[in-house]
Structure 1
């Protein structure tokens, strides 16, 4: 694959995920707020939202092997159709046991599209970090706009109709999926079990998911409720939307910086800065720390895939990317559970300082000196 072909394939894969991802992110916004409209309790809503990650944890290995055999085009065509069916299902299916299969279908579809965006961005070594930065900006544009539009439509027409529109929007991704390369995967191999002993970079991915995807998001709502009882939802929602805006604005510069200075050194610096942001939150400066974490997250998102791809043998690249995503999902699934149990019991300062210390230790172990793993 030439550099220009890699640029186009990465861009098309990013558009595929960017057009389908709002079906998931908007559900995180509307399902807890309108659980009764979907025929579920709040506890069942939590189960449905968690199911997306749980099926990915179990299914990433299988999806990666399918991707390797079938290539990005076939994998993404099936994923787009699956995502469209799942998203439209949120508009019509009644109750938790009907909605659960839709969530499982969405999770597997996302896994295929997520692997495609990372694998195609890193398919050609030259420009991999730059492509990853542009990719994250394209992908984040969909959820950022979807959250805003979904909230408005839900107020005017109810939450269910939002997902009918988002399901139709997902089908717009089909032409871009059809343009993807057709046969990359036949040259690759599985590269070992996905649940073998984690490498240092896998451990970093787990801690990053736990601290920045799990603890930070749930903790933000918890601490915002204490800090701003009358405006907690609005403030926390604005911070969540700012996460995607940060990726749109900072993803491409992060890719260019990584091309110049190296992805691993930049990822180490951003990870240590994110740990500092968590510590600032724990010390009581909630909004300053939150803005720091959100901004640095925009720089962080494009960087892990180029690091993992550069360290893996060529025929194990997809497997390494899938393993990295699996450990991040495990951390992101554990994070809210840890936060939900400990935030009411443990002073926030110790919880956030502990998370910051874990992130520092994992970052130094995985990224200092640029070792393999």
Structure 2
């Protein structure tokens, strides 16, 4: 494989996910605010929003084997088509069970595309961090634009119209997926395992728990409290900020990894993120400074785990290892909102965010050396 081919495959996989991901991210914004429109209760909203992660936790092993044995083109073309169907279903279906089927379909589709956007940039070791950086930037553009547009369109035409539009936007992703390599990666035993996770998997779990779960939920709550009369716009703006930061700063993460190494960059930036979480818990002026710093640091970190995992698991072991890392991050990200929802009304912010910071710092220090 040449560098030009690796760049092309990275670009096509990133565009595939960028066009399909808004259907998922916008659901997190609109479903809790318009539950009655979709014929579900608030507890059922929680189930629907968690379902895509739960099915990935169970299904990443199967998806990674299909990806390795059939190749990126087959896996991602099916996934892009399934994502378009799932997003359109949010506009047409009512009730928890039909919507649950759509969420499960989306979860498996995302698993295949998520493997691709990590595996294809790292298929050629030379320049892997750089490709991972700008790939994350391209992927983040889809949700950022989708969230901003959805918040406005929902106010004018209602949430159902939003998902009809996003379903149409997802369709061109099939064309980009069809341009991916058809050559299989080759199967290596060892899909996601839940026993004796390595240091990188423990870091992925902790990062998902703290930064994808507790922090993101807290960011939305802070934004809604700051603008209670425009909760949809406030929450949409908060979530959009997360993706805007990835667009701008993910390439910087790839550049930093090229200068000091992906592993060292991962450790240093994760420790800095833990400090940002601690500032959130301290409150006052530090709260907003910590929120802003954590959003930026999270964006720089996004492209780093893939190259670290790929370097530690060369050859056919790369795709299963990437799938395991994604599984553990999903477990953490699924647990984070549950913990935040239980503790935010009861416990002081310093206990919640300080505890998350301590866990992230400990997990970050544990991955300082390869093979741990």
**TM-score band, normalised by shorter chain:** over 0.9
Instruction: Report the equivalent of 1:287.
Output: 288
The correspondence of residues 225-304 of structure 1 with structure 2, limited to 5 A, is: 234-284=233-283, 285-304=286-305
Structure 2 CA distance for aligned equivalents of residues 192 and 323 of structure 1: 6
Structure 1 CA distance for aligned equivalents of residues 226 and 168 of structure 2: 39
Which moved further from structure 2: 224-233 or 140-149? 224-233
CA contact (8 A) 1:221 1:232 kept: no
The correspondence of residues 275-354 of structure 1 with structure 2, limited to 5 A, is: 275-284=274-283, 285-354=286-355
> SS of 1:118's equivalent?
helix
Unpaired runs of 5+ residues, structure 2, are: none
Structure 1 CA distance for aligned equivalents of residues 234 and 154 of structure 2: 19
The correspondence of residues 118-157 of structure 1 with structure 2, limited to 5 A, is: 118-157=118-157
* Residues 236, 164 of structure 1: alpha-carbon distance in 2 compared, 3 angstrom cutoff: closer
TM-score, structure 1 as length reference: 0.96
Runs (4+) of structure 1 moved beyond 3 Å?
A: 221-237
* Residues 227, 160 of structure 1: alpha-carbon distance in 2 compared, 3 angstrom cutoff: closer
Shift of 1:132: 0.3
Structure 1 CA distance for aligned equivalents of residues 92 and 75 of structure 2: 26
* Residues 192, 18 of structure 1: alpha-carbon distance in 2 compared, 3 angstrom cutoff: closer
> SS of 1:245's equivalent?
helix
Instruction: Report the equivalent of 1:197.
Output: 196
> SS of 1:33's equivalent?
coil
> SS of 1:44's equivalent?
helix
CA contact (8 A) 1:221 1:233 kept: no
TM-score, structure 2 as length reference: 0.96
Shift of 1:39: 1.0
Instruction: Report the equivalent of 1:96.
Output: 96
* Residues 36, 353 of structure 1: alpha-carbon distance in 2 compared, 3 angstrom cutoff: same
Structure 2 CA distance for aligned equivalents of residues 259 and 133 of structure 1: 10
Instruction: Report the equivalent of 1:217.
Output: 216
Instruction: Report the equivalent of 2:68.
Output: 68
- CA distances 1:324-349 after superposition (whole Å, capped 9, x unpaired): 00000000011111111122222111
* Residues 102, 238 of structure 1: alpha-carbon distance in 2 compared, 3 angstrom cutoff: same
Instruction: Report the equivalent of 1:31.
Output: 31
Structure 2 CA distance for aligned equivalents of residues 102 and 265 of structure 1: 40
When the two chains are superposed, the root-mean-square deviation of aligned CA atoms in Å is: 1.5
Instruction: Report the equivalent of 2:55.
Output: 55
Shift of 1:201: 0.5
> SS of 1:184's equivalent?
coil
Unpaired runs of 5+ residues, structure 1, are: none
Shift of 1:196: 3.2
CA contact (8 A) 2:18 2:141 kept: yes
Structure 1 CA distance for aligned equivalents of residues 88 and 228 of structure 2: 35
Structure 1 CA distance for aligned equivalents of residues 16 and 43 of structure 2: 32
> SS of 2:32's equivalent?
helix
Shift of 1:184: 2.8
Structure 2 CA distance for aligned equivalents of residues 23 and 188 of structure 1: 31
* Residues 109, 192 of structure 1: alpha-carbon distance in 2 compared, 3 angstrom cutoff: closer
- CA distances 1:264-285 after superposition (whole Å, capped 9, x unpaired): 1111111011000000000002
* Residues 319, 95 of structure 1: alpha-carbon distance in 2 compared, 3 angstrom cutoff: same
Structure 2 CA distance for aligned equivalents of residues 193 and 8 of structure 1: 28
Structure 1 CA distance for aligned equivalents of residues 345 and 246 of structure 2: 31
- CA distances 1:184-217 after superposition (whole Å, capped 9, x unpaired): 32x2313355323210000000000000011112
The correspondence of residues 40-51 of structure 1 with structure 2, limited to 5 A, is: 40-51=40-51
Instruction: Report the equivalent of 1:188.
Output: 187
Shift of 1:228: 6.2
Which moved further from structure 2: 79-88 or 217-226? 217-226
- CA distances 1:69-117 after superposition (whole Å, capped 9, x unpaired): 1100000010011001001000101111111100000000000000011
Instruction: Report the equivalent of 1:364.
Output: 365
Structure 2 CA distance for aligned equivalents of residues 19 and 236 of structure 1: 21
CA contact (8 A) 1:239 1:294 kept: no
